[in-house]
Structure 1
Amino acid sequence: MKVVQTGSFRRKAKKLHATEKTALDRAVRKLVASPESGASKKGDLAGVRVLKYKVKAQQYLLAYSYEPELITLLAIGTHENFYRDIGKQ
């Protein structure tokens, strides 16, 4: 399965601390193992799935789109303004 990153995702991931990057790597591995594990969104965000994971006590969201043999990582962040920012992309 091929995993690609959008430019905005790459920029956000680059700014993460080491513990956050480790948790992100685990979340992406989980995603590759079962791509339909994230919640499917409706309305303006149709076609986007969101996987929730925790770093220490903080919950992070990983937005991605899934097609057979291709996962596109769209965005990463905390819940605050996450869906608003994803809708602008």
Structure 2
Amino acid sequence: MIVLASLVCWGLALLGHGLLQPKIRRLLHVGDGRRGMLRVMRLGLPLVALAVSARLDMPLAILVWVGTFSVGGLLAGGALAAVAVYRRGGC
């Protein structure tokens, strides 16, 4: 459950980071609203993931935190790519 919570936090943080990028915003036709909330997500959710992971023993906690960052980044990138293809009328 700790790994899943950390993965969700990282995935949402990296999704917010991606949505702050001008090129992604152009591709997805996203307006300029809610940038402040995305910045807070990008800063706060990795810290929440660290706090959740810290409930494990220390060497394992760092590995879980870094490992879920990697998988969360892949999931966020895949989600952004899938939405971009869908918006362009691909699938």
TM-score by length of 1: 0.31
Report 1 or 2 for greater relative contact order, CA contacts < 8 Å, sequence distance ≥ 6.
2
Q: Which has the higher helix share?
A: 2
Structure index of larger Rg: 2
Structure (1 or 2) with the greater strand fraction: 1
TM-score by length of 2: 0.30
